[in-house]
């Protein structure tokens, strides 16, 4: 009985959190912000709501927790009685690691990846991997993906439907820990599962 009530309460909480996200996205769109379809925009992503109509996010973008998107800079206000504002254009299929800060006046080309804790102060060209403070291009997206594909031929692979937190057993946790003792690995099939089974992340419509 307790298990049933716990699962029921958890499901209600999850549904409320999803509705809260959807309401937030709707509010931002009503204020003039462009948010494309299939965007992973967590509640912890801080949006410059006072100037959100200057921000555009294309389809299928993803943001790690605690990212910040700014369209204004009020730091010189006391000294020159003026605040800098600028458009932020994020094209389709861009992905940002946790705690990335995107400053006003930048354009991020389609299919670009920005590493965690980066500060984006200048434009990033399409098909790029960038990181750092300030964020700088490290390599092309193609080179970045090729590196991962090469690693996947020798490093341990863990199927999503067996090793994601929703499915993993104590035995598989131990197996994963053993296999990752001296190297990294990859959980595979998560994006496919999200598309096929409508699970994983809640994304914009």
On whether both 90 and 188 belong to a single domain, the answer is no
Phi/psi of residue 101, nearest 5 degrees: -115, 125
Is 103 domain-assigned?
A: yes
On whether both 123 and 176 belong to a single domain, the answer is no
Is 131 domain-assigned?
A: yes
Adjacent-strand bridge partners of 63: 96
The string of DSSP letters for 125-189 reads -SSEEEETTTTEEEEEHHHHHHHHHHHHTTS-EEEHHHHSTTT--HHHHHHHHHHTSSS--EEES
pLDDT tens digits for range 30-69: 999 999 998 999 999 999 999 999 999 999 999 999 999 9
Residues 6+ apart with CB under 8 A from 187: 158, 159, 160, 163, 164
On whether both 76 and 36 belong to a single domain, the answer is yes
Is 10 domain-assigned?
A: yes
pTM: 0.87
pLDDT tens digits for range 149-160: 999 999 999 999
On whether both 4 and 52 belong to a single domain, the answer is no
Q: What is d(CA 165, CA 78) in angstroms, rounded to the nearest whole number?
A: 49
Is 150 domain-assigned?
A: no
On whether both 107 and 118 belong to a single domain, the answer is yes
pLDDT tens digits for range 133-187: 999 999 999 999 999 999 999 999 999 999 998 899 999 999 999 999 999 999 9
- Domain that residue 177 falls in: 155-197
> Could you give the number of structural domains in the chain?
3
Is 147 domain-assigned?
A: no
Do the bridges between strand 68-69 and strand 186-188 make them parallel or antiparallel, or are there none, so unpaired? unpaired
On whether both 24 and 66 belong to a single domain, the answer is no
At residue 205, the pLDDT reads 74
Q: What is d(CA 99, CA 176) in angstroms, rounded to the nearest whole number?
A: 27
pLDDT tens digits for range 184-200: 999 999 888 877 766 55
| The residue to which tokens 């690995």 are assigned | 185
Is 92 domain-assigned?
A: yes
On whether both 176 and 136 belong to a single domain, the answer is no
Is 180 domain-assigned?
A: yes
On whether both 126 and 159 belong to a single domain, the answer is no
On whether both 19 and 84 belong to a single domain, the answer is no
Q: What is the CATH number of the domain that holds 87?
A: 2.160.10.10
On whether both 122 and 55 belong to a single domain, the answer is yes
């Amino acid at each position: 009985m307790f298990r049933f009530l716990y699962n029921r309460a958890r499901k209600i909480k999850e549904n409320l959190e999803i509705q809260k996200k959807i309401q937030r996205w709707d509010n931002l769109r009503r204020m003039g912000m462009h948010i494309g379809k299939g965007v992973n925009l967590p509640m912890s992503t801080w949006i410059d709501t006072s100037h959100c109509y200057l921000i555009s996010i294309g389809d299928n973008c993803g943001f790690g927790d605690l990212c910040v998107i700014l369209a204004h800079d009020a730091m010189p206000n006391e000294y020159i009685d003026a605040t800098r504002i600028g458009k932020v254009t994020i094209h389709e299929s861009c992905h940002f690691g946790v705690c990335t800060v995107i400053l006003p006046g930048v354009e991020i080309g389609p299919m670009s990846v920005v590493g965690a804790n980066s500060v984006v102060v200048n434009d990033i060209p399409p098909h790029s991997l960038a990181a750092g403070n300030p964020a700088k291009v490290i390599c092309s997206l193609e080179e970045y993906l090729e590196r991962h594909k090469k690693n996947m031929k020798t490093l341990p692979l863990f199927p999503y439907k067996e090793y994601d937190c929703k499915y993993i057993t104590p035995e598989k946790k131990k197996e994963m820990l053993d296999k990752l003792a001296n190297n990294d690995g990859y959980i595979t099939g998560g994006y496919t599962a999200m598309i096929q089974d409508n699970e994983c992340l809640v994304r914009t419509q």
